[in-house]
């Protein structure tokens, strides 16, 4: 068994990575913003080692860029990057649900796991309709993560989760600047769960297609808007 010190450091490393990811998702760490291991260690009152490991982990997830001489900075995704994320997840999700038709889909959509997914869907949809970005992000990510665990293997689910985090990192600064950003928050989570519960494979794919189309239309609007 590993020494307790190693377990503590590993846990601290994950806690720091999660906290910094939340800072980026909340828009408190903006794209291009620079910081050093020392600054983060002082901010959280911890040693440099778990901080450095956490920052390396976030760099591996493409959320941070590492510079040997200047430290780290929040990665700046482009509109084309965002489109690529949407298109990639669309291809993968379509492939996953394409293998689950009718009764098999309905069978996946029953049990205690679906109760949790529906609860996340309700909270995410409510936050989206209210334009509450802070609440929406957490529930939306948990909704898709739990849904992915129902219908896909963990490697696919983990990859899709990473894409969704990246998409939110790109989107948050723009949505916070927009006076009408709330109207671009997709709120079809409950319709997706309803279709899944009924075993309606075509309905599931239609809702997801609308979700992806909504995201691409928003990207087109961003590109055409003066900034």
Single residue among 33, 58, 74 that ends a domain in this structure: 74
pLDDT of residue 60: 94
Low-confidence ranges of the chain (pLDDT < 70): 1-10, 99-112, 179-181, 226-227
The pTM of the full predicted model, rounded to 2 decimals, is 0.88
**Whether 83 and 70 share a structural domain:** no
**Whether 131 and 213 share a structural domain:** yes
Number of domains in the chain: 2
pLDDT of residue 106: 58
**Whether 9 and 113 share a structural domain:** no
**Whether 60 and 108 share a structural domain:** no
Range of the domain at 172: 79-224
> If you compute the radius of gyration of the chain from its CA atoms, what whole number of angstroms results?
19
pLDDT of residue 227: 59
**Whether 86 and 145 share a structural domain:** yes
């Amino acid at each position: 068994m590993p020494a307790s010190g190693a377990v503590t450091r590993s846990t601290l490393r994950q806690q720091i990575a999660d906290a910094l990811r939340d800072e980026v998702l909340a828009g408190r760490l903006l794209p291009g913003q620079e910081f050093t291991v020392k600054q983060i260690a002082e901010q959280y009152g911890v040693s440099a080692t778990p901080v450095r490991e956490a920052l390396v982990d976030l760099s591996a997830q493409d959320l941070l860029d590492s510079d040997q001489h200047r430290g780290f900075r929040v990665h700046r995704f482009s509109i084309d990057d965002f489109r690529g994320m949407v298109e990639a997840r669309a291809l993968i999700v379509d492939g996953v649900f394409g293998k689950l038709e009718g009764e098999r889909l309905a069978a996946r959509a029953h049990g205690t796991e679906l109760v949790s997914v529906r609860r996340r869907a309700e909270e995410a949809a409510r936050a989206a309709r209210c334009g509450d970005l802070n609440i929406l992000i957490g529930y939306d990510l948990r909704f898709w993560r739990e849904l992915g665990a129902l219908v896909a293997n963990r490697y696919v689910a983990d990859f899709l989760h990473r894409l969704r985090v990246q998409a939110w990192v790109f989107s948050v600064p723009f949505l916070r600047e927009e006076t009408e950003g709330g109207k671009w928050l997709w709120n079809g989570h409950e319709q997706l769960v309803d279709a899944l519960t009924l075993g309606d494979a075509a309905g599931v794919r239609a809702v997801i297609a609308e979700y992806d189309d909504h995201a691409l239309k928003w990207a087109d609007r961003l590109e055409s808007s003066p900034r």
